[in-house]
Amino acid sequence: MDAVAKLKELRLPFADLIGVEWISAEPERVVAALVVREELCTQPAILHGGAIMAFADTLGAAGTIVNLPEGAGTTTIESKTNFIGAASLGARLIGEATPLHRGRRTMVWQTRIATEAGKLVAVVTQTQLVL
């Protein structure tokens, strides 16, 4: 089973709730899209910072899941977000997560979130604990 199919089969409920669209998933790179909907916005109609963080956290966790040994799980133990620019209502964002470290007990992922036009919105670095 390919990694995108595995992520879809897991039915990550929060990813479904916020509208994550899986594009590709490999041990070295996970890519997904998110459309900025009104329910995810603050005023004036821009994506809430928490939604940006949640999108990135989902991608970093997915990258870890793709790399987990059979029967293992994961949880986020640290996350840092640099907000670079705003994402307006209706924008389609592309998130790309790549590993900085893939160890036995922890994995560190960096996720870049940008608009489809390439405008950088945020860079997130997170540490995942392997359970």
Residue ranges and CATH numbers for the domains of the chain are 3-130 (3.10.129.10)
- pLDDT tens-digit readout, 72-111: 999 999 999 999 999 999 999 999 999 999 999 999 999 9
- pLDDT tens-digit readout, 24-79: 999 999 999 999 999 999 999 999 999 999 999 999 999 999 999 999 999 999 99
Q: Write down the pTM of the prediction.
A: 0.94
Tokens of 93: 């964002």
Dihedral angle, C-alpha 114, 19, 31, 91, nearest 10 °: -20
Tokens of 12: 């990550």
DSSP 60-121: HHHHHHHHPPTT--EEEEEEEEEE-S--BTT-EEEEEEEEEEE-SSEEEEEEEEEETT--EE
